[in-house]
Chains A and B, each alone.
Chain A
């Protein structure tokens, strides 16, 4: 038990450090000539990285035979939601300044905004039901089924990024292949286990 606590005390600050870095740069008014764009990109980058990290937990547990990694999954997933909230709030509050006319216009006209919103809203029920109480209330199977929504969020986040860039698609392609690999791993695992032992939950 003490070791477990120690590990979380490392992972938590690690996940929080990008936000601290951003705060530090803001404090020093060192956010590039276009601070709002910088904050938007920074928080968006970390949202998608945290989503990828969350998706990587299960494959890494199995491949590295480290089942204990599971204890970090909720924390990393909640950090993905945390950076997603910052990203959304930056767009909504700082960039659009709560201008509902422009915001609704964006929803209708810009497909990358819709993809981003799908990714963000997909994480919302997962963050709400992330507690042990909700797992108990819902039952493990239903809870797990609901939390597969993260696959949708991950895919939408990649599409959001891909639709957003003008011509240099290296980063969306990188995140796209990472998400693709992690989902493919699950598909192969699922097919394999279905054949090997059909009754495994």
Chain B
């Protein structure tokens, strides 16, 4: 005998097949929608005209490669003053006061001077420079920075003939940066360049990214961007620039001289004890891509190093 159970689901309640099979798509879209929503609410979003720098001059140095998202760049940082994990700086630097701010430019210069950040912003026309940025840890990003060549600032103070190197120093205040005590490196963070490297037009004095001011975790309010060198050379939150006669120390080199050189030019042929330098992972990509000599800026900067053994001067 056939016993027919009464149907307790009406056909109108049945999920259509297409919707049913798309449920994963819907779920997968949720985080993206969430991030997009957060982006809209976040004051540092690249909001076109609403950003701090709506009209930036285009630069011939810009790459046409695909930019990384602001979300990626602002949530994946090496800024040891605010923690050694990649996701710590954006949380711990949240209340970092970057205004008012002054940068002292001093040393072997005719006109030593302190620049307020407002003065720095007006010193030269701001350009958008879309650069490749390669970390020594073998990951890379493409970022639209805002700024102008450091040479414009250095011209203001007139380096003397004695000036052969430029020494940079980051802001450091242990009470604002409690995580710094666990970093295992010394602070304030210092970096250095040869004067001709510092005067190279690619060397960017950077005050913004994605059309807006730098977020604290990305080195606000002013930092260096040296696209042909490993990321740690691009010092953040600068308070002092000193022109000097002798090669200045740089933090990672003083910590581990065998691993991090003074020059630290991106070089796929010089291996690092921890990471292969012949390839890198662009954030957002699964497969590694080959690393280019001078991070692809050889045409511009290789002449700075003619006659130098780059394996020795790594």
Residues of A within 8 A of B (CB): 27-30, 32-34, 36-37, 94-97, 99, 102, 105-106, 109-112, 164, 166-170
In the bound complex, CA of A30 to CA of B255 (Å): 34
- Cβ B274 vs Cβ A32 within 8 A: no
Number of interface residues of B (CB under 8 A): 33
Minimum CB–CB distance from A141 to chain B (whole Å) comes to 41
Minimum CB–CB distance from A103 to chain B (whole Å) comes to 10
Closest 8 CB pairs of A and B: A167-B184, A33-B72, A168-B84, A33-B76, A168-B184, A33-B283, A28-B31, A167-B185
- Cβ B276 vs Cβ A105 within 8 A: yes
- Cβ B87 vs Cβ A32 within 8 A: yes
Chain B, residues 274-297, CB within 8 Å of chain A (1/0): the string is 101011010110111000000000
- Cβ B139 vs Cβ A167 within 8 A: no
The reply to whether the CB of B75 lies closer than 8 angstroms to some CB of chain A is: yes
Task: Enumerate chain B residues within 8 angstroms of A105, measured Cβ to Cβ.
Answer: 276
In the bound complex, CA of A78 to CA of B73 (Å): 38
Minimum CB–CB distance from B283 to chain A (whole Å) comes to 5
B76 touches which of A34, A36, A94, A96 (Cβ 8 Å): A34
- Cβ B281 vs Cβ A36 within 8 A: yes
Minimum CB–CB distance from B158 to chain A (whole Å) comes to 38
- Cβ A112 vs Cβ B274 within 8 A: yes
Looking across the interface, which residue of chain A has its beta carbon closest to that of B76?
A33
Looking across the interface, which residue of chain B has its beta carbon closest to that of A106?
B276
Looking across the interface, which residue of chain B has its beta carbon closest to that of A29?
B31
Chain B, residues 63-97, CB within 8 Å of chain A (1/0): the string is 00000100111011000100010110000000000
Q: List 24 A-B contacts (CB under 8 A).
A: A27-B27, A28-B30, A32-B75, A32-B87, A33-B68, A33-B86, A34-B76, A34-B139, A34-B281, A37-B86, A37-B281, A96-B288, A97-B287, A97-B288, A102-B278, A105-B276, A109-B273, A110-B273, A110-B274, A112-B274, A167-B80, A167-B84, A169-B184, A170-B182
Minimum CB–CB distance from A99 to chain B (whole Å) comes to 8
The reply to whether the CB of B117 lies closer than 8 angstroms to some CB of chain A is: no
- A-B interface pairs (CB < 8 A), number: 67
Looking across the interface, which residue of chain B has its beta carbon closest to that of A105?
B276
B32 touches which of A29, A112, A169 (Cβ 8 Å): A29
Task: Enumerate chain A residues within 8 angstroms of B9, measured Cβ to Cβ.
Answer: none
Given contacts A166-B84, A168-B182, A169-B184, 10 further A-B contacts (CB under 8 A): A27-B28, A32-B87, A33-B86, A34-B76, A97-B288, A102-B276, A102-B278, A110-B273, A167-B80, A168-B84
- Cβ A164 vs Cβ B274 within 8 A: yes
- Cβ A167 vs Cβ B183 within 8 A: yes
Looking across the interface, which residue of chain B has its beta carbon closest to that of A37?
B139
Minimum CB–CB distance from B106 to chain A (whole Å) comes to 29
Task: Enumerate chain B residues within 8 angstroms of A164, measured Cβ to Cβ.
Answer: 274
Q: Within B137-189, which residues are at the interface with A (CB < 8 Å)? A: 139, 182-185
In the bound complex, CA of A110 to CA of B273 (Å): 6
Task: Enumerate chain A residues within 8 angstroms of B182, measured Cβ to Cβ.
Answer: 168, 170
In the bound complex, CA of A170 to CA of B83 (Å): 12
B283 touches which of A27, A34, A106, A110 (Cβ 8 Å): A34
Looking across the interface, which residue of chain B has its beta carbon closest to that of A113?
B274
Instruction: Among A30, A95, A111, A167, find the residue whose CB has the most chain B CB atoms closer than 10 A.
Output: A167
Task: Enumerate chain A residues within 8 angstroms of B279, measured Cβ to Cβ.
Answer: 102
Chain B, residues 20-43, CB within 8 Å of chain A (1/0): the string is 000000011011100000000000
In the bound complex, CA of A110 to CA of B281 (Å): 19
Task: Enumerate chain A residues within 8 angstroms of B288, measured Cβ to Cβ.
Answer: 95-97, 99
Looking across the interface, which residue of chain A has its beta carbon closest to that of B288?
A97
Minimum CB–CB distance from B34 to chain A (whole Å) comes to 9
Task: Enumerate chain A residues within 8 angstroms of B31, measured Cβ to Cβ.
Answer: 28-30
The reply to whether the CB of B196 lies closer than 8 angstroms to some CB of chain A is: no
Task: Enumerate chain A residues within 8 angstroms of B184, measured Cβ to Cβ.
Answer: 166-169
